[in-house]
Structure 1
Amino acid sequence: MNLLHGDCLKLLPTLAEQSFDLVVTSPPYNLGIAYSSFKDTAPRDEFIDWCKSWSAELKRVMADDASFFLNIGASPANPLLPHQLILALTDGPEPLFVLQNTFHWIKSITVETRQSEFLSVGHFKPINSKRYVNDCHEYVFHLTKTGDIALDRRAAGVPYQDKSNIARWGHTDGVDKRCRGNNWFIPYDTIVSRAKERPHPATFPIALVEQCIRIHGKGKATRLIDPFLGIGTSAIAAQRQNLAGFTGIELDLGYLETARLRLDEEHTLL
């Protein structure tokens, strides 16, 4: 585990070219979230330019067949941010990346069963509004250098509901697992105390990072980087998956210390 304290724009240039197979990260969303050491209220153009700068450095350290999973959310009053950012990274005469897949991270969902029963699972922050509905999802953009990177779709897949499809379709190879698709229901873990268990205003679940590791398909040989480590969620996922290498960068020393503590606690459980 290589956990670095500092600004990713200063630290990324010190890392070797093409030294990582996978990027999974969630940068500040520029939606006014109260981080400890980062002002999340920059003008939109300034924020987009900043994202392009660190994304260019990520591209330099990514192997040619690497995947970059970029998690970003919006707010009901600010819905265009994810789309503006992804256009900035993929459009224009010299785009940084190709958008290969768009995944929807579903945090909470209600499903009506065939018996007309309602099943609600997951967690979300309710909105008290007459104009907007509760926001129960975020985006995970899958970016690559060329747009033609092979994935291990079944590694992140699900069993067939209708088992007759296993024999019916030749592409199954007799395996009871199919591609999950681009809707990923991954709820937050239930916690008792946010201050103690999740002392960060914007985290993603460990399982979300593990899903990205699986679908990229390099297994334990994966070298993962997260330039916005926060309290270490991606580092814990890398440790659980026993990856070949992990580098995390975090500007806030308090968050970084929390990440180290979480890793130590996780190690004692393995």
Structure 2
Amino acid sequence: MIGVAEGEKGAPGPGGLAVNTIHTMDCIQGMQRLAAGSVDVIVTSPPYNIGKDYNSYNDQQPREDYLDWMGLVAAGAARVLADGGSFFLNVGGKPRDPWIPFDVVQQFRPHFELQNVIHWVKSIAIGKEDVGSYENIAGDIAVGHYQPVNSARYLSQCHEHIFHFTKKGDVTLDKLGIGVPYQDKSNIGRWKAAERDLRDRGNTWFIPYRTIRSSRPHPTSFPEKLPEMCIRLHGCRPGTLVMDPFMGIGSTALAAITLGVDYIGFEIDPAYREIAETRIAEARGQEQRD
């Protein structure tokens, strides 16, 4: 699709908007300015409407208004996504309102096929007796970013959904692009598909947050590894263009830079965009030093 040679920042892109740039504008208006079918991969996490403290957005809209807005986002994304493109939508909820991701996904149903449902596991506990016999695991394990819930009724939420939408449900993926080694090496060569020591990761992805030592600059940013894995799964090709309608502090842009593909994003809050641009500049500088 439309890209920019050598990651040139600010060059004209689809519909005249510069690529490798985060635009300070509403994403629906921004997507209207993009050419139809010009985006290869969309990775995003919209506000969940659960009362998070954003700088420039009210995250406590009436449910119908919020869902109507999500429907407009879905329609705009469907127009700009290429026929062979992938849209990865990360949506979570909260313990006393678990319907949110399921309500949101229904707004996308008129515009997309739901090709895969991925479970982003942020924290997990596994007893040794359930692990089996692995020499590197000596006891029970509990790993990841765990947030306790101050309630006797609800369980702590240790995972979120990533809904993988496509136009027709027939997009071929690079599953080994995020593959994992076989635990049982005898599978290699024994199974027809096992030509090397790498298998399909499946739809459960353990992606913990980095350890937090200070307050977050953004209340709901996802780890850079999440968009990186989504882009790898879809497949990285020359000229690939990745869009994030809710760019926040730039995690999707940083993943695109790591993978050497182009990005375009929208963010209504100038302070978040400034943080994102600082992070991007640091990443570009690190690239040059390496």
TM-score calculated relative to the size of structure 2:
0.87
Gaps (5+ residues) in structure 2? 1-19
Q: Please show how residues 1-150 of structure 1 align to structure 2 within 5 Å.
A: 1-90=20-109, 95-113=110-128, 114=132, 117-150=139-172
1:234 — aligned with what? 252
Determine if the alignment matches structure 1 residue 252 to structure 2 residue 273.
Answer: no
Counterpart of 1:180 in 2: which secondary structure?
Answer: coil
Q: Secondary structure at the match of 1:258?
A: helix
Q: Deviations over 1:179-215 (max 9, x none)?
A: 0010000001123222xxx300001110011100111
Kindly indicate whether the alpha-carbon contact (under 8 Å) linking 1:213 and 1:219 is maintained by their aligned counterparts in 2: no
Counterpart of 1:168 (choices 186, 190, 208) is 190
Q: 2 CA distance for matches of 1:74 and 1:219?
A: 33
The alignment status of 1:152 with 2:174, answered yes or no, reads yes
For the pair 1:269 / 2:286, whether they are aligned, the reply is yes
Of the structure 1 ranges 80-89 and 116-125, higher mean CA displacement relative to structure 2 is found in 116-125
TM-score by length of 1: 0.94
1:149 match: secondary structure: coil
Listed as ranges, the gaps of 5+ residues in structure 1 are: none
- Tell me, in whole angstroms, the C-alpha distance in 2 between the residues paired with 1:18 and 1:133: 41
Report deviation, 1:124: 2.4
- Is structure 2 residue 214 aligned with structure 1 residue 193? yes
Matched residue of 2:180: which SS? coil
* Structure 2 counterpart of 1:138, one-letter code: E
Runs of 4+ in 1 over 6 A off after TM superposition: none
CA contact (8 A) 2:122 2:206 kept: yes
The answer to whether the 8 A contact 1:232-1:262 is kept is yes
CA RMSD, aligned part only? 1.2
Q: Report the equivalent of 2:240.
A: 222
Say whether the 8 Å CA contact 2:236–2:259 is kept in structure 1.
no
Q: What is the CA–CA distance in structure 1 between the aligned matches of 2:237 and 2:180, rounded to whole Å?
A: 18
Distance 2:64 2:30 in 1: 23
Displacement after TM superposition at 1:2 (Å): 1.6
- SS of the residue corresponding to residue 189 of structure 2 reads helix
Secondary structure of 2:43's aligned partner: strand
Q: CA deviation at 1:108?
A: 0.7
Deviation for aligned residue 1:85: 1.2
Q: Summarize deviations over 1:143-201 as a string: whole Å, max 9, x none.
A: 011011111111111000000001110112x211100010000001123222xxx3000
Farther-moved stretch of structure 1 (205-214 vs 122-131): 122-131
Q: Distance in 1 between matches of 2:106 and 2:76?
A: 18
Three-state SS of the structure 2 residue aligned to 1:246 is strand
Determine if contact 1:220/1:241 at 8 Å carries over to the other structure.
Answer: no
Post-superposition offset of 1:220:
4.5
In the aligned structure 1, how far is the partner of 2:253 from the partner of 2:146? 24
For 2:164 and 2:193, the matched residues in 1 are separated by 24
Moved more, 21-30 or 51-60: 51-60
In structure 2, how many angstroms separate the alpha carbons of the residues matched to 1:261 and 1:87? 36
Q: Secondary structure at the match of 2:71?
A: helix
